[in-house]
Amino acid sequence: MTVDPIRLLHFADLHIGIENYGGIDPATGINQRVLDFLRRLDEVIDYGLAHEVDLVIFAGDAYKTRNPSPTYQRAFARRVKRLADAGVPVVLLVGNHDLPTMTQKASSIDIFRTLEVPNVIVGRVEEIHRIDTRRGPLQVATVPYPVRQRLLTHDDYQGLSIEELDRALQGIIAQTIQALTQQVDPAIPAVLAAHLSVSEATYGSERSVMIGRDAVVLKSVLADPVWDYVALGHIHKHQSLNGSAYPALVYSGSLERIDFGEEKEAKGFCWVEVARGETAWQFVEVAARPFVTVRADLRGAEEPLLALQQAVASYDLTDAVVRVILTLDEGQEKLVGDRDIRTLLNDARFIGGINREVERAARVRLGALSPEEMTPMELLKLYLDTKGTSPERKAELLALAEEDILR
């Protein structure tokens, strides 16, 4: 009898609370960019429910800060409850942005565990959860973001350098994950969910919002066929790290762009069909807010504003966050004002900046002398200085010139 694969939805790095490039929405009182992130989450949930998802894994970082506002907590909770009320188990992994400043305090998502919200599992420690889904049982091993204060408590770690502590932490994480593999029931599909940095992964703009020092785990630690899929969070750029080998090691990436460093990155989540030894997955792109950089070289244009208008027309700026980078001659600087530029960007949702790179003509300082008062050798020397000629070449050319003058 053929068993249907378990339908798993994997996403991460929501970061509710990022307000870059947005103003307040008058209808809700919430920053427009925060609404973008929430709409992407709605898009994920809509997809999952429409495709009869069996389990959702959120691989960490629900909010931008460790202490999110009640409004943001309410917005996230409403959406998690929508899945839970539909009978879909949800695993919420604790990421570095969810962690409190002290290990004794609760994380920003511990409230779901405290209230014992049905169908919601908070992955706050390293353990294996057996979850009964509509299409059968599944094992999910949770590895939250590694906290130094919690893992490096032994006296042997006192007095070590930062580099030595990094190596020690890396070893502890590897041992912890290895211990989890020993607990896996080989007859039941198993997924590892982890929020951490993996060697060979490509970083993105998460560096600009990262909290704390990062520990990097070797890819080989995770690439164990005891797992049928490895759901990763923490790095915002979607990527698969294990090639065609089994299991897939996948960063789903973030759902929205944070800044222009992510301008070219696709944003979305992973749809996974889990079966023992033969899991398949695909990346599903969401309608993230476009970021567009308009670059225009206006040097030499007789009508620079008209030239800029033509350049802008070649971009699709509809509802985008836009920045403009102009290259201008010195005389054009006053001909292209901010107000004129903003008029050309009417289709944009938000203007992230207008930068001008002005090419200024080199000015030769003659001191108290006029060119007519300078000797040919003085003029030549000044010319070579202006051109940035190397001292060796300059000496050679001056020597040759002096020989010609003396003949």
Distance CA 267, CA 236 (A): 9
More confident residue, 97 or 219: 219
CATH class of 6-285: alpha beta
pLDDT at 101: 59
**For residue 57, is pLDDT > 90?**
yes
pLDDT at 393: 83
pLDDT at 381: 83
Share of the chain above pLDDT 90, in %: 63
pLDDT at 362: 56
Chain-wide mean pLDDT for the chain? 87
Q: What is the pTM of this model?
A: 0.82
- Tell me the two tokens of residue 107: 């994380």
More confident residue, 299 or 334: 299
pLDDT band at residue 205 under the 50/70/90 scheme: low
Helix (H) or strand (E) holding 293: strand 291-297
Number of H helices, E strands in the chain: 10, 17
More confident residue, 398 or 131: 131
pLDDT at 1: 41
Mean predicted confidence (pLDDT) in 252-272: 95
Angle CA 201–8–250, to nearest 5:
5
Window from 133-142, 364-373, 397-406 with minimum mean pLDDT: 364-373
Mean predicted confidence (pLDDT) in 3-24: 93
**For residue 407, is pLDDT > 60?**
no
**For residue 210, is pLDDT > 60?**
no
In 3-state terms the chain splits into helix, strand, coil percentages (rounded to 5) of 35, 25, 45
Sign of CA dihedral 170, 172, 177, 179: positive
Helix (H) or strand (E) holding 304: helix 304-313
**For residue 78, is pLDDT > 50?**
yes
Mean predicted confidence (pLDDT) in 75-85: 95
pLDDT tens figures, 101-154: 566 677 888 888 888 889 999 998 999 999 999 999 999 999 998 876 655 566
In the chain, CATH 3.60.21.10 sits at 6-285
Helix (H) or strand (E) holding 9: strand 6-11
pLDDT at 343: 94
pLDDT at 211: 46
pLDDT band at residue 213 under the 50/70/90 scheme: low
pLDDT at 55: 98
Helix (H) or strand (E) holding 132: strand 127-133
**For residue 25, is pLDDT > 80?**
yes
More confident residue, 375 or 57: 57
pLDDT tens figures, 264-308: 999 999 999 999 999 999 999 999 999 999 999 999 898 999 999
